């Protein structure tokens, strides 16, 4: 009896799965006539129910075999989680099932704010290396420096192979304290820091004035705050140069994308009219076309956009919108080529589904999926990441970054660079 109990439970699980699939189809059928037609076809005689039951029974059988025979003990709940993840991730490279922790991390990355100590970190050989500390952050106030190696958090050793776990331990409630042990070059012993966590604003836009009339904007990702950050940065640059800029370099190199609405808003900031992006999908809200509204925050400044193989998704939407509307010249290397849109769908128990729901098209009606965008000017040589904007050697950003130098030269010579107001008129 005891040996048959797990099998019975697994078969019951399969039955429940079949019922839940049927119920899900009925719920979808109540939303749109198209879904109703699909559900009816799936339950037609000689088709759906038998196949659905066979699949559910197979899933239950596989789970039972794994549960009983895998070399190490396995948990049925974890098996089902893995089955769900595998089902979704087999669809394409961008769909996935999110655990509660993964869902929370995604919300942090898109919202632009979290409670923590305010450092960017990377896995190192002996611990977690501080790549950058954010201005005004708890880490800066405590005296932590870029290049420090965090080896212990609250008395527990840091595993460099599990960077996500270290990041999770550094985050926590606003006002709570964390104790860090840090190895620093030149220090004979570990340094100890008591850091009080606080709300940290993730900055996705950095800016500086390269010459008297040319500004530089670097967008590292697209979050809920990117558009407002960019608008404030442009306003500061224009104020520094008596309200008028001749040109702007928008650096999207190694920007993996992010929130679609943020890329749309940034594109709209520089466009007076024209299509920004369109998309096609099965659901009604997955089909859309977004048009620019009048108004250009740069007052017609000439634009050059830097791109490379790490420019993806929302970055490509922005680059294509400015390029296809004859608003910007693209310089660099071919972009990544991610031409799909993912929708985050919250599920029970804090979990979520990140599902590809649309394929998007540039204003010229082109799908860049798997192809990318070829710049107007392709730069030769080894593809390099953007140079750090802060430097202690006294060299300018253009001197330290050859691609910024190429963009600056294009703007100052105006060779092949699209002019704002004139190009907008031609694009009509």
Give the Cβ contact number of residue 244 at 10 Å.
11
CA 144 – CA 132 distance, rounded (Å):
10
Specify whether 204 is catalytic. no
Whether residue 315 lies in the annotated active site: no
CA dist., res. 221 & res. 131, Å (int): 17
129, 204, 221, 313: the active-site residue: 313
**How many CB atoms are located within 10 Å of the residue 206 CB?**
16
Q: Is 338 a catalytic residue?
A: yes
Computed on alpha carbons and rounded to an integer, the radius of gyration of the chain in Å comes to 26
Q: Which of 137, 221, 298, 338 is catalytic?
A: 338
Alpha-carbon torsion angle 86, 88, 90, 91, nearest 10: 170
| Catalytic pick among 315, 324, 340, 401 | 324
Any idea which residues carry the catalytic annotation?
A: 313, 324, 338
């Amino acid at each position: 009896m005891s040996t048959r109990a797990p099998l019975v439970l697994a078969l019951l699980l399969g039955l429940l799965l079949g019922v839940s699939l049927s119920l899900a189809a009925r719920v979808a059928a109540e939303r749109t006539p198209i879904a109703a037609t699909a559900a009816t076809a799936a339950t037609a005689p000689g088709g759906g129910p038998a196949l659905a039951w066979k699949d559910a029974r197979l899933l239950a059988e596989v789970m039972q075999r794994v549960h009983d025979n895998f070399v190490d003990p396995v948990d049925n709940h974890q098996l089902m989680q893995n089955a769900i993840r595998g089902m979704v991730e087999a669809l394409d490279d961008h769909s996935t099932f999110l655990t509660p922790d993964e869902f929370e991390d995604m919300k942090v990355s898109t919202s632009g704010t979290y409670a923590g100590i305010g450092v960017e970190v990377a896995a190192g050989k002996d611990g977690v290396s501080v790549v950058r500390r954010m201005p005004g952050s708890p880490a800066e106030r405590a005296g932590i420096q870029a290049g420090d190696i965090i080896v212990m958090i609250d008395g527990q050793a840091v595993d460099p192979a599990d960077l996500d776990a270290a990041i999770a331990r550094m985050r926590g409630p606003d006002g709570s304290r964390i104790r860090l042990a840090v190895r620093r070059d030149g220090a004979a012993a570990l340094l100890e820091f008591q850091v009080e966590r606080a709300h940290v604003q993730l900055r996705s836009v950095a800016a500086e004035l390269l010459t008297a009339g040319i500004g530089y904007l670097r967008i590292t990702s697209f979050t809920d705050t990117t558009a407002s950050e960019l608008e404030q940065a442009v306003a500061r640059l224009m104020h520094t140069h008596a309200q008028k800029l001749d040109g702007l370099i928008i650096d999207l190199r190694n920007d993996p994308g992010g929130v679609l609405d943020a890329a749309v808003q940034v594109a709209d900031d520089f466009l007076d009219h024209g299509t920004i992006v369109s998309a096609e999908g099965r659901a009604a809200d997955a089909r859309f076309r977004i048009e620019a509204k009048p108004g250009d925050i740069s007052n017609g400044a000439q634009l050059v956009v830097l791109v490379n193989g790490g420019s993806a998704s929302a970055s490509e939407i922005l680059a294509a919108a400015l390029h296809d509307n004859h608003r910007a010249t693209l310089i660099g290397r071919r972009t990544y080529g991610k031409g799909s849109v993912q929708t985050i769908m919250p599920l029970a128990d804090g979990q979520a589904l990140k599902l590809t729901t649309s394929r998007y098209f540039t204003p010229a009606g082109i799908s860049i999926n798997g192809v990318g965008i070829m710049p107007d000017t392709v730069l030769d040589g080894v593809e390099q990441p953007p140079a750090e904007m802060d430097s202690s050697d006294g060299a300018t950003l253009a001197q330290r970054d050859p691609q910024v130098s190429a963009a600056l030269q294009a703007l100052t010579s105006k060779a092949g660079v699209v002019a704002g107001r004139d190009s907008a008129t031609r694009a009509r």
